[in-house]
């Protein structure tokens, strides 16, 4: 009996020792993180997010797993920041314009900077963040930022000149309201999922959105015309984020691996947004949507309409002691140097 007890105790000691050895030498347990997104399965962007999750798991040797919660099932899009900070979500798909006023300096990335592609906007946004590191985001770990294709006007009635936009009800959100107003139209604020029915029923006569929305949101079924805005082009600034506390709790080698992958991923999503706009344009053509180019005179007016919006941003940042003028210059110089 005593020998049997001694054997049991010896086995127990060996198990404890083995566990301590494993823990001491870096056999980290798997961390499963809840990833909240408003994107729905079936969209190209959602497919890319699934690919991203699998690659993070692969690169970290299975030590980090990302569990996607699509369609705002974990948290509504406009409450993503709070969900991440409060721990409801571990990773979030954050649209800054949904929290207007909460992140003042980064508002520049939603303003009409004139970028003509999602890839250029995406690279600009990540470069801007690296340079300015705004304190307003100090509680967040920015994994990467994406800039969708340029927002243009899609309407039920033709917009042959900017004068045709006067008084037209255009769906938008956040800082897009200033762009729409500056072009003479009437901004109608609403979430994207409500827009299709609103245009169909006449609550809105058009939408400010990237070309990909003709396909991904099926807007080509309810609009007939698309009008590029040239100098007044803006792009939605969307970040994939974690709380800084959650990020800091990860092992150092995991953070290095993940950071390196995020840098690589920027090129992937940048190309995706360009591809999405091409697919949206092709779908629009199949549905009979006609693109109407503006005259050079109206193109110049679009650029002129953007200036008061940028100047207002500079003034607002100055009152807050933030580098608004430097921020605007960086963005415009970046685009000018890279856009044909």
Tell me the pLDDT tens digit for each residue of 155-201. 999 999 999 999 999 999 877 888 899 999 999 988 788 999 999 99
Q: Are residues 185 and 322 in the same domain?
A: yes
pTM for the structure as a whole = 0.86
In a domain, residue 5? The reply is: no
DSSP-H helix ranges across 105-189: 118-132, 176-182
**Cα torsion 149, 90, 98, 175: sign:** negative
- For residue 151, the 8-state DSSP code is B
pLDDT of the residue at 197 = 97
Query: Could you read off the pLDDT of 242-298 as tens digits, one per residue?
Result: 999 999 999 999 999 999 999 999 999 999 999 999 999 999 999 999 999 999 999
Residue 25 has pLDDT above 80, yes or no: no
Q: Are residues 143 and 85 in the same domain?
A: yes
Residue 316's domain comprises: 152-234+287-338
The closest of 268, 233, 271 to 119, measured between CA atoms, is 271
pLDDT of the residue at 262 = 98
Q: Are residues 174 and 83 in the same domain?
A: no
Q: Are residues 171 and 246 in the same domain?
A: no
Domain total of the chain = 2
Q: Cβ–Cβ contacts within 10 Å for residue 187, how many?
A: 20
In a domain, residue 12? The reply is: no
Distance CA 110, CA 225 (A): 24
Cα distances (Å, whole numbers) of residue 203 to 184, 196, 235: 18, 10, 24
Residue 117 has pLDDT above 60, yes or no: yes
In a domain, residue 215? The reply is: yes
**Cβ proximity of 236 and 186 under 8 Å:** no
In a domain, residue 22? The reply is: no
**Cβ proximity of 236 and 276 under 8 Å:** no
**Cβ proximity of 155 and 206 under 8 Å:** yes
Task: Identify the weakest region by mean pLDDT among 96-100, 128-132, 311-315.
Answer: 96-100
Q: Are residues 207 and 301 in the same domain?
A: yes
State the chain's mean pLDDT as an integer: 90
Q: Are residues 144 and 51 in the same domain?
A: yes
Q: Are residues 226 and 305 in the same domain?
A: yes
- Tell me the mean pLDDT in the region 307-315: 96
Which residue shows structure tokens 């409060």? 86
**Cβ proximity of 330 and 109 under 8 Å:** no
3-state DSSP assignment of residue 57: helix
Q: What is the CATH number of the domain that holds 66?
A: 3.40.190.170
Residue 108 has pLDDT above 60, yes or no: yes
Query: Could you read off the pLDDT of 199-238 as tens digits, one per residue?
Result: 999 999 999 999 999 999 999 999 999 999 888 899 989 9
Strands 206-209 and 152-155: antiparallel
Distance CA 76, CA 192 (A): 13
Residue 26 has pLDDT above 60, yes or no: no
Q: Are residues 321 and 299 in the same domain?
A: yes
pLDDT of the residue at 17 = 37
């Amino acid at each position: 009996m005593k020998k049997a007890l001694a054997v049991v105790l010896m086995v127990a000691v060996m198990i404890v020792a083995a566990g301590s050895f494993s823990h001491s030498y870096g056999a980290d347990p798997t961390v499963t993180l809840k990833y909240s997104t408003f994107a729905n399965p079936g969209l190209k962007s959602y497919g890319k997010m699934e690919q991203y999750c699998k690659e993070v798991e692969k690169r970290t040797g299975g030590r980090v797993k990302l569990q996607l919660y699509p369609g705002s099932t974990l948290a509504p899009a406009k409450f993503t920041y709070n969900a991440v900070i409060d721990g409801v979500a571990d990773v979030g798909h954050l649209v800054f314009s949904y929290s207007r006023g909460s992140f003042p300096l980064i508002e520049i990335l939603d303003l009409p900077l004139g970028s003509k592609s999602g890839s250029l906007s995406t690279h600009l946004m990540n470069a801007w963040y690296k340079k300015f590191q705004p304190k307003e985001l100090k509680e967040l770990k920015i994994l990467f930022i994406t800039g969708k294709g340029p927002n243009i006007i899609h309407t039920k009635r033709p917009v042959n000149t900017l004068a045709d936009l006067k008084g037209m009800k255009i769906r938008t959100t956040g800082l897009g309201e200033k762009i729409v107003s500056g072009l003479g139209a009437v901004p109608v604020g609403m979430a994207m999922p409500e827009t299709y029915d609103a245009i169909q029923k006449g609550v809105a006569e058009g939408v400010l959105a990237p070309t990909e929305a003709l396909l991904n949101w099926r807007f080509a079924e309810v609009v007939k015309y698309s009008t590029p805005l040239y100098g007044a082009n803006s792009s939605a600034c969307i970040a994939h984020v974690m709380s800084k506390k959650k990020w800091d709790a990860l092992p150092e080698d995991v953070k290095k691996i993940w950071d390196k992958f995020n840098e690589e991923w920027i090129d992937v999503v940048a190309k995706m947004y360009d591809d999405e706009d091409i697919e949206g344009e092709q779908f629009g053509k199949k549905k009979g949507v006609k693109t109407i180019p503006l005259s050079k005179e109206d193109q110049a007016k679009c650029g002129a309409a953007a200036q008061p919006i940028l100047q207002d941003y500079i003034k607002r940042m100055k009152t807050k002691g933030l580098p608004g003028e430097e921020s605007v210059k960086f963005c415009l110089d970046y685009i000018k140097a890279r856009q044909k």
